[in-house]
Structure 1
Amino acid sequence: MSQYVTRFRRSGAAPARLRFPGAHRRPRRVAMLSVHTSPLHQPGTGDAGGMNVYIVELAKRLAAINIEVEIFTRATTGGLPPEVELAPGVLVRHVDAGPYEGLAKEELPAQLCAFTHGVMQAWAGHRPGYYDLVHSHYWLSGHVGWLAAERWGVPLVHAMHTMAKVKNAALAEGDTPEPAARVIGETQIVRAADRLVANTSEEADELVRHYEADPGKVAVVHPGVNLDRFKVGDGRAAARARLGLPQDALIPLFAGRIQPLKAPDILLKAVAVLLDERPELRSRLLVPVVGGPSGSGLAKPAALQKLAARLGVADVVRFQPPVGQEQLADWFRAASVLVMPSYSESFGLVAIEAQAAGTPVLAASVGGLPVAVRDETTGFLVDGHEPARYARVLREFADHPHLVDTMGAAAARHARSFGWDTSASATADVYTAAMQEHRRHVPSHHG
């Protein structure tokens, strides 16, 4: 397998591909499930984020290697066409399940039955064997996938993206813990899936440790980055000119959903500490916060603006609504450093996107971020969420402006190894292994 797929095996197990000569059939068509967030939604709004980008890019690259993908997602507005072609070989199917508007992610478990019904209806119109495999994303989709895969007699590949037990172990102050129902749901899916895709080795370890996953079922596939869109391009100065930003400013950027988990408040507090120590920096400091409230952040959408005022940094902070991917790439290029103080992050796609655009990253040393960021080479990793620690690194960038360029160049080189083509071919290998194993066990399923 490619270097990007690490298979967790018990010692002594022979590699799967040596055991079954001639049985390496790739799926022709995959049913991909994304219940709570549509691949057509703008990342950075509502529940749309890295997972949307992941599903869209992976599906497009799988289609490019002749694996057709149909993505089932919940219809969130009336009058949507039942199906939309996202790209050649990639179809998005809108499933009616519950009211279009105003349904929070926490209320979706009650709609899984309706969603499953919609998936089954779509399948009923096809000949038997239409889908070769189900790939579900996030635990809500996993439950639908479990039933669909069983009903269709095909393997289930599941990607957690985030895990309740991991999130609850590292909650932000004042954030709401994930409910017990989710923990139970995730445990059931881990048991039911033929293969589990983890973003990093750490996530694979967490699946085994927290959910007793069979190590032989877990495959590590790093997500990719769209290197055609996120690239250095014409550089920092040109991007700043396009966005109307001052050329000589120190610009620490936050980009993502505004919720306690992502900890944008830590950046604002760090900026307040920095300005206390170095008031002369105020005239050349600009802190853009690009994104919209999400999750538990929706309860107090203006909390971050109020915090900026309370800390006395409102004059240097600029709030921007979520932007499309092309413009996001420009914000990354324009920034001096991307700041990601998250409490939990299964991978942290934006860290790779910013680096691909030539910008270093200052991140919390959690989840997949130590894989995404090479500490002291392409950015800095900080243990914990103490604002003073983040302020210290920002001071380094203020005092040594050349760091932005030298680390940015290293970051762009590092990001090149995270192309989506690599991820897609690694995922296709996981599919092949799941199908092989499933065929071996089919007779025992039916007595």
Structure 2
Amino acid sequence: MSATTEPLRIGLVSLHTSPGDEPGSGEVGGMNVVVRHQAEALADRGHHVEIITRRSSPTQPDSVSLVPGVCLRFLSAGPAAPVPKGEHDAFIEPFRHELEALGPFDVLHSHHWFSGVAALPVARERHVPHVQSFHSIAADSATPLSEGERAESAGRMTGEAMLARDSDAVVVVSEAEAHTVRSRLGGEPSRVWIVPPGVDGSVFRPAAVGARRPEAPYVVAAARVQPLKGLDLAIEAIAGISEEARPTLVIAGDSSSEAGDHMAELQELAAAHGIADRVTFIGPQSRADLALVFRGASAVLVPSHSETYGLVALEGSASGVPVVAAAAGGLREAVLDGETGVVLESRDPGVWAAEIERILTEPEYARGLSAAGREHAERLSWERSAAGLEDVYRRVLGRSA
């Protein structure tokens, strides 16, 4: 092989959450899906990938093979038990110490700031490139915050700014996230690369032609149960739909460790609107089970206050289901407004109710959104996402050679 096509030894660092865990539970969300699928797609391209995370259970082995070419490693840093996300900065130093014993790697790619602060010094000691992905970016008290978005510690803000400045590349999932890296963190534009996520169109796929539709229509919101995800808006929108057209709202996801009693608050909100019987919490779902839920839905709702991309929206489109999303961050890019779904600037529940009801009551309109959504999703494979990552890796390796 030529130097430009040699397989790479890639370390994907995910300190606070394991990409081997099932999305939807606790802190396991879109980042886990992205890291795991990109790792598997990179392995399909011939690379050797190690995903490195913190041991959160005494029964976890030192390593496990996820698929050929992808090894998941567990490092001892802090207690071998689940810990709230916000407490993981205490584990950065012991995690770094354990990371120093691994390798060799051609490139280290960190996911979230905890990982980056641990891995960047290791990359520098070894003279290998460091690539950073944030997935979410802190805001200080002087920055206008979306409702549900909370200001973070000064340590996080300092760490993220340092990573944006000192990493060889910053990989983001959308132009919206790229803008945040440049404007909030001062990232050098020439080192910020957009690599959109993908979707597995064989798992998230439309219902078969002629398949029976559910007798009672329902819409889905799949998200961790926390204020940032805007599930209160979804409930209020359902309450605003005329009784003869009103669907059931199915909420798929687990409570975040930092969300307190938010699930109880949402249940109380539904009861206050007289629709407690129309809001169902089904908890976290496997990828296959979530795809099945999507397939039978009339719409997928993404009312988040903030999203770097909105992977759920893309999965809904791949399932051949119209998406109704808030005009927040990367959702403007994940959903093509008026083509694959509807992107709403307003957070007025009445506006949301009217758009959802139109999808429910105008079959031709809904079918058009569904078909265009599937076509859009088919262009965004994980293989394409991995190819974009590989291009970034080879470019930074070329600069550091």
Where on the TM-score scale, by shorter chain, does this alignment land: which range?
over 0.9
Aligned-partner Cα distance in 1 for 2:152–2:389: 28
The answer to whether structure 1 residue 353 and structure 2 residue 315 are counterparts is yes
1:120-168 C-alpha deviation (Å, 9 max, x unpaired): 2334xxxxxx211100011111111211111211000111111113996
Structure 2: any 5+ residue segments left out of the alignment?
Answer: none
Aligned-partner Cα distance in 2 for 1:202–1:428: 22
Equivalent position of 1:251 in the other structure: 218
Aligned-partner Cα distance in 1 for 2:210–2:351: 26
Q: Could you say if the C-alpha distance between residues 236 and 55 of structure 1 is closer, same or farther in structure 2, counting changes exceeding 3 Å? A: farther
Equivalent position of 2:360 in the other structure: 398
Root-mean-square deviation (Å): 1.9
Aligned-partner Cα distance in 2 for 1:303–1:102: 25
Aligned-partner Cα distance in 1 for 2:289–2:303: 22
Equivalent position of 2:190 in the other structure: 216
Q: Where do 1:46-445 residues align within 5 Å?
A: 46-123=26-103, 130-165=104-139, 169-173=144-148, 176-234=150-208, 237-238=211-212, 246-247=214-215, 249-274=216-241, 278-282=242-246, 285-439=247-401
Deviation at 1:375, TM superposition (A): 0.6
Q: Which has the larger radius of gyration?
A: 1
Moved more, 369-378 or 157-166: 157-166
| Structure with a larger share of its residues in helix | 1
Deviation at 1:255, TM superposition (A): 0.8
- In structure 2, give the amino acid aligned to 1:114: P
Deviation at 1:410, TM superposition (A): 1.2
Moved more, 226-235 or 308-317: 226-235
Moved more, 229-238 or 182-191: 229-238
Aligned-partner Cα distance in 2 for 1:308–1:236: 34
- In structure 1, give the amino acid aligned to 2:291: A
2:245–2:361 CA contact under 8 A, matched in 1? no
Structure 1: any 5+ residue segments left out of the alignment?
Answer: 1-21, 124-129, 241-245, 440-447
The alignment partner of 1:279 has SS state of: coil
Deviation at 1:294, TM superposition (A): 1.0
Aligned-partner Cα distance in 1 for 2:209–2:290: 14
TM-score, with structure 1 as normaliser: 0.85
Q: Which structure ranks higher in relative contact order (CA pairs < 8 Å, sequence separation ≥ 6)?
A: 1
Deviation at 1:338, TM superposition (A): 0.3
1:332–1:359 CA contact under 8 A, matched in 2? yes
Aligned-partner Cα distance in 1 for 2:6–2:257: 37
Deviation at 1:398, TM superposition (A): 3.0
Deviation at 1:63, TM superposition (A): 0.6
Aligned-partner Cα distance in 1 for 2:153–2:132: 20
Q: Could you say if the C-alpha distance between residues 196 and 81 of structure 1 is closer, same or farther in structure 2, counting changes exceeding 3 Å? A: same
Aligned residue pairs total 399
- In structure 1, give the amino acid aligned to 2:144: A
Deviation at 1:25, TM superposition (A): 5.8
Deviation at 1:72, TM superposition (A): 0.5
